[in-house]
Amino acid sequence: MSTETITIDRLGAQGDGIANGKDGPVYVPFTLPGETVAIARVKNQGTVMSIASASADRQEPPCRHFGPDGVNGTCGGCTLQHMADVPYRAFKRQLVIDALKSKGLTPEVGEIVAAHPGERRRVVFAARKTEKDMLVGFNQAESHHIVAIEECPISSAGIISRLPAIKAVGAAVATNADAFRIAVLETLSGLDLSVEGVKKLSDQQRRKAVEVVLGLRGIARVSLDGEILIEPAKPIVEFGGIRVSPPAGGFTQATKPAEEAMAKLVLAHVGKAKRIADLFAGAGTFSLQLARLGRVHAVEGDGKAIAALDYAARNTQGLKPVTVEKRDLFRRPLMTSELKVFDAVVFDPPRAGAEFQCKELARSIVKKVVAVSCNPLTLARDLAILVEGGYRITSVTPIDQFLWTSHVEVVATLEK
């Protein structure tokens, strides 16, 4: 390890400061362009020792767990709390512009839909039971060390106010000192806790855990590796006012405002389409609202998610017909011959994107397409396939759902 003083030239895609060293780039977390910093260096990684000259874009981090003066934060949940709002949002928008440009695409990219503190309704905590305590928090960056949190400005008050209850559940299901995960979703009927990575409980341990949960307030459901342990109240979320009970551990958008912003863009572009395909539909984030406009065919690989969507559609009045199909779209994308009956297609795949599906779409006659993505790089690849197939990108909107991180959602609309 060596110590040296360097000047940060730019931010990388992960939010780290990058300095141009004599032997290549040096990556320094928690720094900003233009700053002169003293670092301890191991190979091409630097740890800030002190800041000799701070950027005007540096701000006081709002969370005590982020670290002193925004340097070397302990909690690994956020990476950019030290960056002021305006340059932070510009950085995220630029990530989308750069990703598109890497594939030769130069559409106008709209202003980013901003995220705000306290909006996160879905949080994944790291947890571990020690001899003295139950640790619930986030892993330190590049580490398995869990930083137990007492506050979290990104998370909803409903989650943070129930941290003691979340700890109690963690302690009740932990059978050893191994680390595990607790995914927490705030629903209308209470917290939905999905625990993954705990050793199988004995019958006696299960009974004791159930007793603990029943003695707590505000817990709707607890599941272990997808199996429901106890469900005092069915967890309910709303997609545009339509009630759905998502499966245990199932995917939902992390914040309600981001979900609503995405849905608004999707619905506006689909417009008066009579037949709509919603691919990678999940539990119905878009499908159910689209069914107010036209007939919807929802396709999803997760059987429990598509069952939840189907149940909600059957039990909601005022919707056009909704058909569902359980199908692995990575292995079996909807073929061009199947797509010809649709006026509009919406797709919202995982981070890997929808390359094979887009190759079929590119050859189709579908007039309108909406691409929703949590990964600008795979989105750019997919959009390039569609553009080559004769589609025109009509809008690109970045949406900040993961505050103070380098992750950004995007909604892109296209027409044939």
Where does the pLDDT of residue 72 fall: very low under 50, low under 70, confident under 90, or very high at 90 and above?
A: low
Residues 50 and 95 in one domain: no
Q: Which residues fall in the annotated binding site for S-adenosyl-L-methionine?
A: 253, 280, 300, 348
pLDDT at 90 over 60: yes
Q: Among residues 63, 75, 78, 374, which one is catalytic?
A: 374
206-245 per-position pLDDT tens digit: 999 999 999 999 999 999 999 999 999 999 999 999 999 9
Query: Are 111 and 127 members of one domain?
Result: no
Among 250, 341, 330, smallest CA distance to 295 is for 341
User: Residue 161: helix, strand or coil by DSSP?
Assistant: coil
User: How big, in percent rounded to 5, are the helix, strand and coil portions of the chain?
Assistant: 25, 30, 45
Domain of 27: which CATH number? 2.40.50.140
In a domain, residue 76? The reply is no
- In this structure, the answer to whether residues 98 and 191 fall within a common structural domain is no
Indicate which CATH number applies to the domain containing 348. 3.40.50.150
Range of lowest pLDDT (49-53, 293-297, 317-321, 375-379): 49-53
127 within domain boundaries: yes
- Predicted local distance difference test score (pLDDT) of residue 8: 97
Output the six-digit token pair for 342.
């649709």
Q: Is there a domain that residue 249 lies in?
A: no
Mean pLDDT of the chain: 95
Helix (H) or strand (E) run with residue 210 in it: helix 203-214
DSSP type of residue 321: P
* Confidence grade of residue 21 (pLDDT, cut at 50, 70, 90): confident
pLDDT in tens, 54-66: 999 999 999 988 8
* Judgement on whether residues 36 and 143 belong to the same structural domain of the protein: no
Q: Which residues are documented as binding site?
A: 253, 280, 300, 348
- The answer on 161 and 38 residing in a single domain is no
Domain that holds residue 43: 2-58
Residue 1's pLDDT is: 74
Pair 311, 225 in one domain: no
Residue 185 belongs to a domain with what CATH number?
A: 2.40.50.1070
Q: Are residues 99 and 174 in the same domain?
A: no
Residues 201 and 285 in one domain: no
Report the b/e string of 251-264 with b at 16+ CB within 10 A.
bbbbbbbbbebbbe
How many domains is the chain partitioned into structurally? 3
Classify residue 86: in a domain, yes or no.
Answer: no
Is the same domain home to 409 and 265? yes
Side chain identity at residue 281, one-letter code: A
Rg (CA), the chain: 23
Q: With respect to residue 320, please indicate whether it lies within any of the assigned structural domains.
A: yes
Annotation marks residue 152 as catalytic = no
Task: Tell me, yes or no, whether 240 lies in a domain.
Answer: no
> What is the per-residue pLDDT for 67?
66
